[in-house]
A and B are shown apart, each in its own frame.
Chain A
């Protein structure tokens, strides 16, 4: 199993390298330190919420609400900052909004027995509506430099948001491979019935996993708000789709039971590099969407064909 998984990840990694090589040839600016850091920084938010998505998809679920949850926790956090609440506490408030929204998803799915698609589709609308209602549809803007440092600052020449992303990935990889939660995540997605009969409290772990996905939406909100110096109720639209794409390109199976964190990172970087490269080449944004869609379909098509051949 390790081998198959590794070959798959290796293939994705090669894809990323080829993409980089292509843009390097086409644009002299692509392979500069500042541009690469720029890509990492731009990718960080999608990459972070893709971590939650990876856990969710490994359980054979889906989280369509993550973009809206990001917006909702962003505006609540921003209003706390404006009310003079200290930064760490405001961030905690934002995290809580994300965690609670995610946990509600989890409860609807575990105890409510709703299909994840439906539960999170509902939450997608509820969280978005809440964000708009809470702000009357207006952005909350203007924050202190110390808050903005979380996205715009550098530590050892590397942007803070990239550090945050790296830390999240290291922790997530550790959790998925070395803890009970990780092992159960795979078991639940691989065969939920067998997991229950093996004594796993499936409902409880689903609640945790969807809760954490929401929490990471809150973390994404911190970076986005700090970068834009504004929390917008319409932030994060379609982010869930990018996160799903990154996860799936990274080799996580929508059927559940299979997937890795580093695969998702490569998947997120592929999308990031593609956006950046196409921008550098001056490809209009409408066409960019077409290209990205085609890459997603192509990657998965290749994957399924390879799997078929193996059988």
Chain B
């Protein structure tokens, strides 16, 4: 066995109810290397790292550390083994100082059991100097910047003698200058023999900091390469090259007049210079990685978030959409990404959820007409085939697919004709997925226009008539159905915007 290998994970398998998150995945880490872990959203990167850091337990497979097989029982155990992880969300107490955070829970005490402040700050200083950064140890964490908070996390991990450091998209919140500093720190650490697992999507960075790259796709191990041996195109191929075997309804769209036009839309710091059109009968796919601004765009159009500049035309009329209420009046319906927290009132019944936005239609002199309401509700339960014991069942007790149908029924009751589907099939099993796709297709036949946001490339390719790819808050590229393939979309999604005009 190669003595340089500090950590190896082999044939790791992890299942969650209904999904295989990791299917015989292997991973090797050498002393002092920066190993990039690459894959789309949902490829299994985070799950693999959570197993390594003790947050999840593997179902099968072995982990060897320094040649010895180990079982990682919990996060504390992983720390003791010298495995540190830095999540995107930091685990710092914002009201404590930098030094206090580094030693939180392990404060040095004197013989009376009182915290030895002097020793605390002394040890903290030693670690911070080791990393080679400058942070005021007395500063309260809420008052220092994101980049410095990240350094505090690193210091915390190193104070636990971490020899393996996992960093989950560490550059995402940082500025260019801060990224340079981050890389300098990483290089110093690797010289000291620390091994880094670096999760990131940013291609240019990978070539700058990485030694090796391992690609995962749909929970499967695809391959490991030396960064210097593989070019960008081949990497993208490894990430996305899958068979398109899912069943999508045949599209023969009848695309006619424009129903929505967005011009120069901007939301400070989130979205910039967004221009596009949507037509009757069309499915417009919006692809892009998480955090690229897709959901934010939907929220801006739908009047949830205020826009700082730009115009929105609905049926060629300039509209100021300042609330969801207004958007609904203009014929929009928003099927949110997170149905449970934003789309449905879970404690209410199927009936009450379906008629929530169109209650005015069942009022006679201000009084609800139960019979009319029930008739409408039963109509949609039947035509959309919502599987529920009855209209008075709480939505809470329905499966994901049926919940999505309830949300869809809600908008159909409003006679909406501009739908925004955000991750329409997330958390929905395969059978119900096909049903949702068919419903979407049928809707467009009836003249509805659909914006479909999705992280799943096959879904984007299988359903969309036209595709916009978002990257860093703007539209990086537009592709027709014929032009589009997974590689092209990924190029736009992870490239530097501005190179593709």
Contact = CB atoms under 8 A, between A and B. Distances in A.
Interface of A: 1-2, 177-180, 183-184, 186-187, 190-191, 193-201, 257-258
A180 B343 contact: no
Most buried by A among B324, B325, B356, B392: B356
B348 interface: yes
Q: Closest 6 interchain pairs by CB? A: A190-B345, A199-B328, A257-B347, A199-B325, A191-B345, A198-B357
Given A179-B366, A194-B342, A197-B304, A187 B348 contact: yes
B57 interface: no
Most buried by B among A1, A196, A200: A1
A58 to B, nearest CB: 10
Interface of B: 302, 304, 323-325, 327-329, 334, 336, 341-349, 352, 356-357, 359-360, 363, 366-368, 370, 392-394, 410
B347 A183 contact: no
A257 B349 contact: no
A99 B153 CA distance: 53
B349 A199 contact: no
19 contacts: A1-B348, A179-B367, A180-B359, A186-B348, A186-B352, A187-B352, A191-B341, A191-B342, A191-B344, A191-B347, A193-B342, A194-B341, A195-B356, A196-B304, A196-B324, A197-B302, A198-B328, A199-B324, A199-B329
Contacts of B336: 197
A1 B393 contact: yes
B368 A180 contact: yes
| Majority secondary structure, A binding face | helix
A5 to B, nearest CB: 10
A257 B356 CA distance: 14
Nearest to A181: B366
A258 B359 contact: no
Most buried by B among A193, A195, A197: A197
Contacts of B329: 199
B56 to A, nearest CB: 25
Contact of B366 (A180, A186, A198): A180
A196 B336 CA distance: 12
A258 B345 CA distance: 11
A184 B359 CA distance: 9
B89 to A, nearest CB: 21
Given A1-B393, A198-B324, 5 more contacts: A191-B341, A195-B356, A197-B342, A199-B325, A201-B325
B357 A183 contact: no
Contacts of A1: 348-349, 392-394
Nearest to A186: B348
A190 B342 CA distance: 11
Contact of A187 (B356, B367, B368, B394): B356
B352 A183 contact: yes
A178 B366 CA distance: 8
A200 B324 CA distance: 8
A199 B367 contact: no
B356 A200 contact: yes
A191 to B, nearest CB: 4
A2 B394 CA distance: 9
B98 to A, nearest CB: 32
A186 B367 contact: no
Contact of A190 (B327, B328, B334, B346): B346
A310 B370 CA distance: 29
A295 B306 CA distance: 49
Given A197-B334, A198-B356, A187 B345 contact: yes
A192 B319 CA distance: 26
Nearest to B393: A1
Nearest to A195: B345
Contacts of A194: 341-345
Given A1-B392, A1-B393, A183 B359 contact: yes
